[in-house]
């Protein structure tokens, strides 16, 4: 038997579950016929109820909460809050602008807390077991947002959360292109994850040792996953992606690839969910 210190375990997660019928379809098929082990649910989006029904039929799929404060719908549909929500109750689409406002405008913090609380409560109302928590565009690691998330996590007995640390040196060996994007995001999330790590430890919230997918946003492909499996370090890792039967079909195809499944077996990599950590 392989020593426990050398075991390689991988959570394969789909973000944006519930955002559309095409994403829901890809998530379920990639779980049934591929390597997908979990999905993160957007509770404010139009296909959320359908996603919950599908999840109930597939109890082996770990379903977490995908908190949204940017590029999506607010739970407070009629509310317009300057710097937070627009007409129709939609968040702004610029993550950088939103992040700066959240940090510097203290008047937004009660609105952020109310929104996140609503999303936690909407997930609880589904009756699904909460597998993990993360954020759309990884907004949960924003310093202002994380304090609120950890407070709500205590109330909702959260035990696992994504710590978005995507090792740049590994990514540099296995991927190509978009050098500025990859380097900038690696540096930003290195700082954010370094800051968040002791906070999660004190809250007794588990996480994987590393996360892949941040630096390859919307570009997860069969060759990328095959390369990743060759270079996957010992310990617990997460690979997150955005499969869809339409917009991100290449990510869906990668998850159901027979070559990827065979490689996973050949490399003796164990698939798991966050609740299995």
Question: Are 139 and 67 contacting, i.e. CB atoms less than 8 angstroms apart?
Answer: yes
**Residue extents of the structural domains in the chain:** 4-276
How many residues in total does the chain contain? Answer: 277
Residue-level pLDDT at 87: 81
Phi-psi region of 181 (alpha: psi -120 to 50; beta: other; left: phi over 0): alpha
252-262 exposure pattern, b = at least 16 Cβ within 10 A, e = fewer: bbbbbbeebee
pTM equals 0.95
- Return the CATH fold of 4-276: TIM Barrel (3.20.20)
Confidence of residue 40 (pLDDT cuts 50, 70, 90): very high
User: Residue range 143-150: average pLDDT?
Assistant: 98
Report the chain's C-alpha Rg in angstroms.
18
What does DSSP say about strands 62-67 and 130-135: parallel, antiparallel, or unpaired?
parallel
Neighbours of 76 (CB within 10 A): 16
> What average pLDDT does the chain have?
95
pLDDT on residue 1: 45
Maximum separation of any 2 CA atoms in the chain, in Å: 59
Give the mean pLDDT of 111-121: 97
* Whether residue 5 has pLDDT greater than 70: no
Query: Is the per-residue pLDDT at 93 higher than 60?
Result: yes
Is 212 in contact with 185 (CB distance < 8 Å)?
Answer: no
Question: What mean pLDDT is predicted for residues 124-132?
Answer: 98
For 88, what's the count of Cα atoms within 13 Å in the CB-facing half-sphere?
6
Residues 275 and 208: their CA atoms lie apart, in Å, by: 11
Weakest-pLDDT range from 84-93, 131-140, 255-264: 84-93
């Amino acid at each position: 038997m392989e020593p426990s210190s050398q075991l390689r375990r991988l959570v394969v997660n789909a973000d944006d579950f519930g955002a559309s019928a095409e994403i829901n379809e890809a998530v379920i098929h990639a779980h049934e016929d591929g390597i997908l082990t979990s999905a993160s649910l957007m509770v404010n989006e139009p296909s959320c109820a359908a996603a919950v029904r599908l999840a109930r039929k597939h109890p082996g799929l770990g379903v977490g909460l995908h908190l949204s404060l940017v590029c999506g719908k607010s739970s407070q549909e009629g509310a317009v809050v300057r710097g937070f929500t627009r007409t129709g109750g939609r968040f702004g689409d610029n993550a950088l602008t939103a992040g700066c406002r959240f940090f510097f405008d203290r008047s937004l913090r009660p609105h952020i807390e109310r929104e996140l609380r609503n999303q936690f409560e909407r997930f609880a109302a589904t009756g699904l077991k909460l597998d993990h928590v993360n954020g759309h565009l990884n907004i949960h690691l924003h310093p202002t947002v994380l304090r609120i998330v950890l407070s709500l996590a205590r109330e909702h007995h959260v035990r696992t959360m994504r710590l978005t640390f995507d090792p740049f040196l590994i990514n540099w060996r296995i991927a190509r292109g978009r050098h500025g994007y990859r380097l900038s995001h690696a540096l930003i999330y290195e700082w954010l994850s370094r800051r968040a790590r002791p906070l999660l430890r004190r809250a007794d919230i588990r996480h994987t040792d590393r996360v892949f997918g941040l630096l390859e946003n919307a570009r997860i492909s069969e060759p990328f996953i095959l390369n990743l499996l060759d270079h996957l370090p010992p310990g617990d890792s997460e690979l997150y992606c955005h499969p869809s039967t339409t917009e991100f079909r290449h990510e869906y195809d990668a998850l159901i690839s027979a070559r990827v499944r065979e490689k996973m077996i050949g490399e003796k990599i164990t698939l798991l969910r966050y609740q299995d950590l």
